[in-house]
């Protein structure tokens, strides 16, 4: 019996690609180019399963409804799946899966990296040293903001947020608060001595740091806008490792210019890989290139998780990470 044909839309880490070759008749994107819409349409006709990423073009109704579609499952390489129109997938009976859990710790690490870096002015300091402009230590040089013991507010309090809370509360003694329309159990709230707010706005008003952990797309597009930045403390910092479209970048630029907030740490952007130009020149912003899950261990695990979903599907089982 022939193996299912699986197309990987981007280059994967070696360990994950090796497993794909063992399990399936796999087509690998050897030069790691971003597949065009036409290539994605052809892939839908050539493959039994497609494994896309968040950096691909939106897999929408045009792609799902391509004539002579063969693809029966789209197994996303990533926990977020706003790159896939799940409603369009359901209409044509294509299963969609994601890869939760395996990237939790590393994404949480990056959130803490951003929080520490922007508050302690690490990016500025490194640029100063590299440019040979540092003239030496003095008592008032590059004064920054203390992290330990401060209030950390979460917008969304799922797995990744809880992993950040673990590091922040028990490692840095930070006070945890959150808003989530689907809150965790009382046991988890008690674990972090967390304050549960009824509105997002209450978190913004209370926090020294606001970290975003909510899905992108839909009603969450531009969730952080001019009005909501205005509710934050002037000394507060925004951290985003969720999705870029959750933040209105034009409003963020203005809030930073007008000193409505103190700074921001961003791993994701509204129009990746394009970054709003004015952000690039701001000293009180730390910008990194979507590194949340970027460790070898995690990226291999994401690939293996995606393949597990495909394998389960073709073995007649319900994929463990089905989202549509």
Residue 202, classified by CB atoms within 10 Å of its CB into exposed (0-12), middle (13-18) or buried (19+), is: middle
Catalytic residue chosen out of the listed positions 19, 121, 228, 243: 243
Q: Tokens representing 182?
A: 């689907």
Catalytic residue chosen out of the listed positions 159, 290, 297, 322: 290
Beta-carbon contacts of 305 under 8 Å, excluding residues fewer than 6 positions away, are 99, 101, 102, 321
Alpha-carbon span 8 to 206, nearest angstrom: 44
What are the phi and psi torsion angles at 310 (to 5°)? -65, -45
Number of helices followed by number of strands (H, E) in the chain: 13, 12
What are the phi and psi torsion angles at 83 (to 5°)? -85, 0
Closest to 78 in 3D by CA, of 101, 95, 53, 49: 53
Is there a catalytic annotation at residue 290? Answer: yes
Catalytic residue chosen out of the listed positions 272, 278, 297, 322: 272
Is there a catalytic annotation at residue 243? Answer: yes
Residues marked as catalytic = 243, 272, 290
């Amino acid at each position: 019996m022939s193996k299912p044909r699986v197309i990987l839309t981007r280059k994967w880490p070696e360990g994950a690609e090796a497993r794909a070759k063992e399990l399936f008749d796999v087509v690998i994107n050897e030069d790691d180019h971003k597949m065009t819409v036409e290539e994605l349409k052809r892939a839908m006709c050539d493959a039994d399963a497609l494994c896309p990423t968040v950096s691909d073009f939106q897999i929408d109704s045009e792609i799902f409804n391509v004539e002579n579609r063969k693809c029966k499952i789209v197994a996303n390489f990533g926990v977020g799946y706003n790159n896939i129109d799940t409603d369009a997938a359901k209409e044509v009976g294509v299963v969609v899966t994601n890869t939760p859990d395996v990237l939790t710790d590393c994404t949480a690490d990056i959130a803490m990296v951003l929080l520490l870096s922007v508050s302690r002015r690490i990016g500025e300091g490194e640029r100063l040293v590299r440019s040979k402009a540092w003239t030496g230590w003095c008592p008032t040089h590059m004064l920054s903001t203390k992290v330990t013991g401060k209030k950390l507010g979460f917008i969304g309090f799922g797995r990744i947020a809880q992993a950040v809370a673990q590091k922040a509360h028990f490692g840095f003694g930070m006070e945890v608060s959150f808003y989530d329309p689907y809150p965790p159990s009382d046991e988890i709230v008690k674990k972090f001595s967390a304050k549960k707010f009824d509105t997002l706005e209450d978190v913004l008003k209370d926090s020294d740091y606001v970290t975003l952990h909510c899905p992108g797309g839909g009603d969450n597009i531009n969730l952080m806008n001019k009005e909501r930045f205005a509710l934050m403390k002037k000394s507060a910092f925004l951290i985003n490792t969720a999705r870029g479209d959750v933040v209105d970048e034009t409003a963020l630029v203005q809030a930073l210019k007008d000193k409505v907030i103190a700074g921001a740490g961003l791993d994701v952007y509204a129009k990746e890989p394009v970054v709003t130009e004015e952000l690039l020149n701001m000293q009180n912003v730390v910008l990194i290139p979507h590194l949340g899950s970027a460790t070898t261990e995690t990226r291999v695990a994401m690939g293996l998780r995606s393949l597990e979903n495909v394998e389960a599907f073709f073995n007649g089982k319900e994929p463990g990470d089905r989202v549509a």
